Amino acid sequence: MVTGTTRYPPTPSALHEAVDTRDPRYDGVFFVAIRSTGIYCRPICPSRRARRENRVFFASRGEAEDAGFRPCRRCRPELAPGQGPLEVVPRVAGEAVERIATGALDGRSVRDLAEDLGLSERHLRRAIEREFGVAPRDLAAELRLRKATDLLRDTALPVTRIAYLSGFQSLRRFNAAFLERHGMPPSAWRRAQVTG
């Protein structure tokens, strides 16, 4: 049971808010049971929302049922996608990666991105690490480097411009990251591609 303090990332107020707004991102992440009716729902349930003091949160259907709650007939939580946090990882991670690829972590913190996505920083880190096996920062660095490498190979843009277009905060950082990966500076690597 999740009351007062949560056992997993979303804070109690985030859980209430997800229920109030029927936030689809939380579908499958948790379930909300209603003390007064003895039923439990998905956060997206179309039924009228119970008062906050009557809500009890669970991380899984099993926990809600063990506590004696029955599934709601409208939102059918027993058919909800996922058994809880684990199965929403790909969706959360996928959305995070899209944003990271378009610069969400360039000069910004993981916490900022988590806030954009309505998640806790810990939830976001866990989702990305589970899905991609790396920390969000490392994933961002990898995506920047890949983009830069593509641009070096496929365009004639100046190296400085490529560094910034790829999300590097300075040319120095770009050069350092590139050298570490490819063993030569960007301009030398580019020439090597051309001469084949």
For the annotated catalytic residues, the residue numbers are 41, 45, 72, 75
Strand duo 31-34 + 39-41: pairing = antiparallel
Strand partners of residue 56: 33
Number of residues that bind Zn ion (CB under 5 A): 6
State yes or no: residue 173 binds Zn ion (CB under 5 A): no
Q: Find where tokens 């591609």 sit.
A: 193
Position among 29, 32, 45, 97 found at the interface with Zn ion (CB under 5 A) = 45
CA dihedral 27, 81, 70, 35 (to 10 degrees): -10
Least distance to Zn ion from the beta carbon of 47, Å?
5
Which C-beta is closer to Zn ion: that of 74 or that of 161?
74
Residues 6+ apart with CB under 8 A from 90: 131
The window from 12-20, 25-33, 40-48, 55-63 that contacts Zn ion (CB under 5 A) reads 40-48
Cβ–Cβ < 8 Å for 83, 49: no
Which C-beta is closer to Zn ion: that of 73 or that of 183?
73
Residues that bind Zn ion (CB under 5 A): 41, 45, 47, 72, 74-75
